[in-house]
Structure 1
Amino acid sequence: MFRVTAIVMLSAPIGIGAALAATIGTNGLKILINLGKLVGCLYAALVCFIVVVLLPIALLARVPLLPFCRAVARPFILAFTTASSEAALPIAMENLELLGVPKKIIAFVLPTGYSFNLDGTTLYLSLAGVFAAQAGNVDFPLKKQIMMMLTLILSSKGVAAVPRASLVVLSGALANFGLPMEAVAVIIGVDAFMDMARTSVNVLGNCLSAVVIARWEGVYPPPIATLADDAASMASEKIV
Structure 2
Amino acid sequence: MSNKKKLGLPTKMAIGMIAGVIAGIIIQSANLNVSAYIKPFGDLFIRLIRMVVVPLVFASLVTGAASMGDAKKLGSVATKAIVWMFGTSAFATGVGLILANFFKPGLGLSLSTEGLKAKEVVPPNVVDTLLNIVPMNPMEAFSTGNLLQIIFFAMFFGFALSAIGEKGRPLLHIFEMLSETMIKLTGIVMAYAPIGVFALITVTVSQNGLNALLPLVKLIALVYFACVLQILLVYFVAVKFIAKKSFKEYLKGITEPILVAFTTCSSAAALAVNLKASLRLGASKNVASFTIPLGNTINMDGAALYLGIAALFVAQVFGIDLTMGEQLSILLMSILASIGSVGVPSSALVVMTMVFTSVGLPIEGVALVAGIDRILDMARTTINVMGDSTTALVVSKFEGELGATNFDLKTD
State the distance in 2 between where 1:171 and 1:16 align. Answer: 26
State the distance in 1 between where 2:289 and 2:280 align. Answer: 14
- Give the alignment's TM-score, normalised by structure 1: 0.81
* Alpha carbons of structure 1 residues 33 and 140: separation in structure 2 relative to 1, 3 Å: farther
Match of 2:226 in 1: 45
Match of 1:217 in 2: 399
CA deviation vs aligned residue, 1:4-31 (integer Å, no higher than 9, x gap): 941877578658866x58xx9xxxx6x8
- 1:147 correspondence with 2:147: no
| Aligned residues of 2:267 and 2:384 also touching (Cα < 8 A) | yes
- Map residues 54-73 of structure 1 onto 2, 5 A cutoff: 54-65=235-246, 66-73=248-255
1:84 aligned counterpart, secondary structure: coil
- Offset of 1:60 from its aligned partner? 2.3
| Aligned residues of 1:116 and 1:158 also touching (Cα < 8 A) | yes
2:354 to 172, 179, 182: 172
- 1:77 correspondence with 2:259: yes
Larger radius of gyration: 2
* Alpha carbons of structure 1 residues 7 and 215: separation in structure 2 relative to 1, 3 Å: closer
Match of 1:231 in 2: 409
- Offset of 1:139 from its aligned partner? 2.3
Q: Hey, which of these two has a bigger chunk of helix by percent?
A: 1
2:361 aligned counterpart, secondary structure: coil
State the distance in 1 between where 2:274 and 2:213 align. Answer: 35
| Aligned residues of 2:329 and 2:359 also touching (Cα < 8 A) | no
- Offset of 1:143 from its aligned partner? 2.2
- How many residue pairs match? The answer is 221
State the distance in 2 between where 1:79 and 1:204 align. Answer: 9
- 1:87 correspondence with 2:269: yes
CA deviation vs aligned residue, 1:32-74 (integer Å, no higher than 9, x gap): 5441111111111111111122222222214312322211111
- 1:185 correspondence with 2:363: no
- Offset of 1:210 from its aligned partner? 0.4
Match of 2:183 in 1: none
State the distance in 1 between where 2:399 and 2:45 align. Answer: 43
Letter in 1 for 2:409: A
2:382 to 200, 215, 237: 200
| Aligned residues of 1:63 and 1:211 also touching (Cα < 8 A) | no
Q: CA RMSD in A?
A: 2.9
1:86 aligned counterpart, secondary structure: coil
State the distance in 2 between where 1:16 and 1:160 align. Answer: 25
State the distance in 1 between where 2:257 and 2:213 align. Answer: 30
State the distance in 2 between where 1:152 and 1:132 align. Answer: 15
CA deviation vs aligned residue, 1:131-188 (integer Å, no higher than 9, x gap): 1111112222222112111111111111110110110010122122221112211201
State the distance in 2 between where 1:13 and 1:49 align. Answer: 28
Provide the identity percentage: 31
2:338 to 153, 156, 165: 156
1:231 aligned counterpart, secondary structure: coil
* Alpha carbons of structure 1 residues 101 and 180: separation in structure 2 relative to 1, 3 Å: same
1:101 to 283, 291, 311: 283
Query: What stretches of structure 1 of length at least 5 have no aligned partner?
Result: none
* Alpha carbons of structure 1 residues 73 and 46: separation in structure 2 relative to 1, 3 Å: same
State the distance in 2 between where 1:204 and 1:155 align. Answer: 20
1:218 aligned counterpart, secondary structure: coil
* Alpha carbons of structure 1 residues 153 and 170: separation in structure 2 relative to 1, 3 Å: same
State the distance in 1 between where 2:380 and 2:333 align. Answer: 18
Structure 1 segments (4+ residues) deviating >3 Å: 2-5, 7-18, 31-34
State the distance in 2 between where 1:187 and 1:61 align. Answer: 37
Letter in 2 for 1:74: E
Match of 2:303 in 1: 121
| Aligned residues of 2:213 and 2:372 also touching (Cα < 8 A) | no
CA deviation vs aligned residue, 1:163-219 (integer Å, no higher than 9, x gap): 101100101221222211122112011111110000001111110110111111112
Letter in 2 for 1:83: C
- Give the alignment's TM-score, normalised by structure 2: 0.49
| Aligned residues of 2:204 and 2:374 also touching (Cα < 8 A) | no
* Alpha carbons of structure 1 residues 34 and 160: separation in structure 2 relative to 1, 3 Å: same
2:341 aligned counterpart, secondary structure: coil
| Aligned residues of 2:279 and 2:288 also touching (Cα < 8 A) | yes
Letter in 2 for 1:199: T
* Alpha carbons of structure 1 residues 16 and 156: separation in structure 2 relative to 1, 3 Å: farther
